[in-house]
Amino acid sequence: MRAALVPMFLAVACNTNPLPTPDLPTKTQPSAPTATGTVQPKSTPPSVKTMTTPAASSPAPPLAVSPEAPVSDAERAADAAGERAFAARLYGAVAKLKPGNVFLSPSSARFALGMLNGGARGETARELGAVLGATARSHDVAASIANEWAALAVPPGPNPWEQNDVVVLRTANRLFGQRGRAFEPAFLALTKGRYGAPIEAVDFQKDAEGARKLVNAWVEERTERKIQNILAMPPRPDTKLILANAIYFNGKWATPFSEGMTKNEPFYGPAGTTSVPTMRKTASRRYGETPAAHVVELRYGGEIRPDMSMVLVVPKKKDGLAEVEKDLSTTGLEGFTKTLTSSVDVDLAMPKFRIESELSLGDTIAALGAPSLFVFGKADLSGIDGTKELFVGLVLQKTFVSVDEKGTEAAAATIVMMRAGAAMREKPKPVEVRADRPFLFLIRDAKRDRVVFMGRVVEPSR
């Protein structure tokens, strides 16, 4: 299974009336450029007044990220709960507006918004902090999310970048700033030191097409070319800053499906019954259920990242997705994941599927509780450049996911332990789970209980 996504945040400076939010552009195919130039940190000694454009780094380099501040177990638990709440609310808001398949990354949106929060002040900071799930404690929101990013970005173990694994998970951040524009040193120190996001100089005013190509080239490199042409049209000339996050995931199932068992079977979607390639496998898996849904965990087989898994939430009724999504809005993700308390043999049938999605999330973020971000004169992003000229003009996330028999990875130890001591008993009948109807899925770090990707499948064959 492969998944890659990139959200883009365009902070637009305006001295008169607010600019309309740009429409999503049409697609074209760019060529890769090279970049030169500088951006200026504000109020710095002459010897360090300009920053040279950093050279492009490899997709998975060792990260020079500042150590996280000490955080208590209680704070970590509160951060994780806030992250899950944000994921559920973001998915719920998008799902209400977008029919059909949905695929997004709460983590990717959260990382980019976390960087933005580092420059927000006043009411804008309070609104955005609440959207991101901040608690009443004094723990810094931007620093807290930076800790989450570092935990995901840096694999555990000695020399992790030199090891090969069947699970690959990469995430990277980058800022693209108007050449010659002065930005606050504290903001640049936060984004570079805690989020691993250097700033790259571009010229939105005189060479918007060159800026577009540079951003697109960075995104393509970081996502193994799965996300191409995220900016199909040049940014507006009054753009001053782009904050970008990219996540790339590629994993193999710990217990792969057999291609010989894949057959066309009915899928009962809202538009009627269709025939789709359906994978089948009986294996020991963590399983749970709610009154409305079956919950099944499919582990990935990585050694460096052994805790990555996919969770399927399959309605018990063929038309039960709306009820399941209602449960998500009331009980949160924990309402499903906490049911995964034991491992049983599961006879699972699920369709192969592929989803490509492009989401404009500005209205969604505003509706979740941060409207001032998008209004000139009300947005307070003065922590970025010392002015109140900046506001967010566009929030764009583009995603790709493909699931097949080789899929993602899992831990075989669970299977062996589940069968220990059962030789003298009659083997129980496997639990049957048929994902032959619209269903939800999560890709998460099970150890930290954090959702990296989330979506629903309504039309697998599209």
Residue 276: CATH number of its domain: 2.30.39.10
Q: What is the mean pLDDT of the chain?
A: 79
Amino acid at residue number 6? V
Residue 4 has pLDDT above 50, yes or no: no
pLDDT at residue 212 in the model = 92
Cα-to-chain-centroid distance, residue 441: 14
Single out the residue in 401, 418, 438 at which a domain terminates: 401
If asked whether residues 396 and 416 sit together in one domain, one would say no
Tell whether 361 and 417 lie within a shared domain.
no
Same domain, 338 and 238: no
Distance CA 203, CA 210 (A): 8
Task: Please give the pLDDT value at position 80.
Answer: 83
State the pLDDT at residue 414.
15
The helix or strand, by DSSP H or E, that contains position 152, with its residue range, turns out to be helix 141-153
The DSSP H or E segment spanning 265 is strand 263-269
Contact residues for 317 (Cβ-Cβ < 8 A; gap 6+) = 292, 323, 437
Q: In what order do the strands lie in the sheet with 51-52?
A: 51-52, 38-41, 182-183
What range defines the domain where residue 160 resides?
Answer: 2-251+355-401
For the beta sheet containing 239-251, the strands, ordered from the edge strand earlier in sequence to the opposite edge, are 199-202, 167-178, 239-251, 2-13, 390-403, 353-360
pLDDT value at residue 372: 94
Whether 205 is in a domain gets the answer: yes
pLDDT of residue 397 exceeding 80, the answer is: yes
Helix axes 321-331, 73-97, angle to 10 degrees: 150
| Residue 445 or residue 292, greater confidence | 292
For residue 263, give Cα distances in angstroms to 257, 274, 349, 456.
12, 13, 10, 22
Residue that terminates a domain, selected from 364, 383, 401: 401
User: Given a cut of 80, is residue 226 above it in pLDDT?
Assistant: yes
342-351 and 431-434 beta bridge pairing: parallel
∠438-443-446 over CA atoms, to 5°? 130
Which residue in the block uniquely carries the two structure tokens 């697998």? 460
310 and 364 both lie in a single domain: no
Q: Is 438 in the same domain as 360? A: no
Percent of the chain exceeding pLDDT 90 equals 49
Among 228-232, 241-245, 272-276, 285-289, whose mean pLDDT is lowest? 228-232
6 pLDDT band (50/70/90 cuts)?
very low
Same domain, 243 and 146: yes
Residue 127 belongs to a domain: yes
In a domain? residue 41: yes
The CATH number of the domain holding residue 41 is 3.30.497.10
Q: Is residue 338 part of a domain?
A: yes
Among the ranges given (77-81, 300-304, 452-456), the one the predictor scored with the smallest mean pLDDT: 300-304
If asked whether residues 161 and 220 sit together in one domain, one would say yes
Q: Which of 105, 431, 114, 74 is nearest to 281 (CA)?
A: 431
What mean pLDDT is predicted for residues 295-319?
A: 90
Instruction: Report CA 26 to chain centroid distance, whole Å.
Output: 23
| 273: pLDDT strictly greater than 90 | yes
Both 240 and 361 in one domain: the answer is yes
Helix 141-153 vs helix 106-117: angle between axes, to the nearest 10 degrees?
Answer: 140
Specify the pLDDT at position 440.
98
pLDDT in tens, 23-64: 323 333 333 333 445 666 665 433 323 333 333 333 434 444
Confidence at residue 71, expressed as pLDDT on a 0 to 100 scale: 63
Q: Which residue has the tokens 């566009």?
A: 394
| Distance from C-alpha of 222 to C-alpha of 170, rounded to nearest angstrom | 8
What contacts 188, CB < 8 A, 6 or more positions away? 41, 51, 175, 199
3-state class (DSSP) for residue 374: helix
Same domain for 202 and 66, yes or no, is yes
Q: Are residues 427 and 391 in the same domain?
A: no
Higher-pLDDT residue of 210 and 252 is: 210
Q: What is the residue-wise DSSP string for 91-113? A: HHHHHHH--S-EEE-HHHHHHHH
Residues 342 and 363 in one domain: no
Amino acid at 52: T
Q: What is the pLDDT of residue 413?
A: 17
The answer to whether residue 328 is domain-embedded is yes
Q: How many structural domains is the chain composed of?
A: 2
Q: Does residue 462 form part of some domain?
A: no
User: Which region among 89-98, 249-258, 285-294, 368-377 has the lowest average model confidence (pLDDT)?
Assistant: 249-258
Determine the pLDDT at residue 42. Answer: 62
Instruction: Judge contact between 361 and 94, C-beta under 8 A.
Output: yes
Identify whether the C-beta of residue 172 lies closer than 8 Å to the C-beta of residue 246.
yes
- Please say if the pLDDT value at position 73 is more than 90: no
Report the C-alpha gap between 75 and 176 in whole angstroms: 32
What pLDDT does residue 135 have?
Answer: 60
What is the spatial distance between Cα 277 and Cα 350, in angstroms, rounded to a whole number?
9
Mean pLDDT highest for which of 228-237, 278-287, 395-404?
278-287
Instruction: Look at residue 94 and tell me if it is in a domain.
Output: yes
The answer on 434 and 299 residing in a single domain is yes
Instruction: Give the pLDDT score at 133.
Output: 83
Predicted confidence (pLDDT) at residue 211 exceeds the cutoff of 70: yes
